[in-house]
Amino acid sequence: MQLPDAETLFKSLAKKIQSDCDKDFVLVGIHTGGVWLAERLHQELAITQPLGTLDVSFYRDDFDKIGLHSKVKRSEIPFEVEGAHIILVDDVLYTGRTIRAAINELFDYGRPACIRLATLVDRSGRELPIAAQYTGVELQLPADKMLELKREANGKLSLNLYDKSLAE
């Protein structure tokens, strides 16, 4: 299967957000791919508010099954969440469980005015009623495949499709 170019998808996503939003919002990226996108969006859209990051490892509903992975990162929210207009950024929207975990974590910091979701790829297969307001592309992928965002040393983004069995 031929995957779309991640850089082209990024530009499309940035334009969609820029045309819909004023500068009165903050970005929060979900580790790891969502943070890469949020960093690029923060720069591309010239957002003056600081960038937030979340690692939702402790908020996942499958934590008791999969345990803690070795690369837990620190969540950093350097702004007041109470009353904030937040765009939550992730790389691939699949089941919706990562987004649910991120929203739960955000509410531990305060009650935002609103949360919108931006994702580079919506691959369908939702298990929870979660929808992105900003999407680079919607793809139909087989359930036995995983989609991964990669970042090269120079910052260039690319997509990789692999068998789910290789991830276990």
Percentage of the chain lying above the pLDDT 90 cut: 80
Torsion of CA 112, 60, 122, 118, to 10 degrees: 20
The predicted structure's pLDDT at residue 69: 56
Angle at 48 between CA 75 and CA 51, to 5 degrees: 10
Q: What is the pTM of this model?
A: 0.92
Largest CA distance in the chain: 43
Nearest residue to 90 via CA among 43, 122, 126, 58: 122
Q: What is the mean pLDDT of the chain?
A: 91
> 110: which 2 tokens?
């305060």
pLDDT tens digit string along 37-78? 999 999 999 999 999 999 998 786 664 454 555 577 889 999
Classify 6-166 by CATH class.
alpha beta
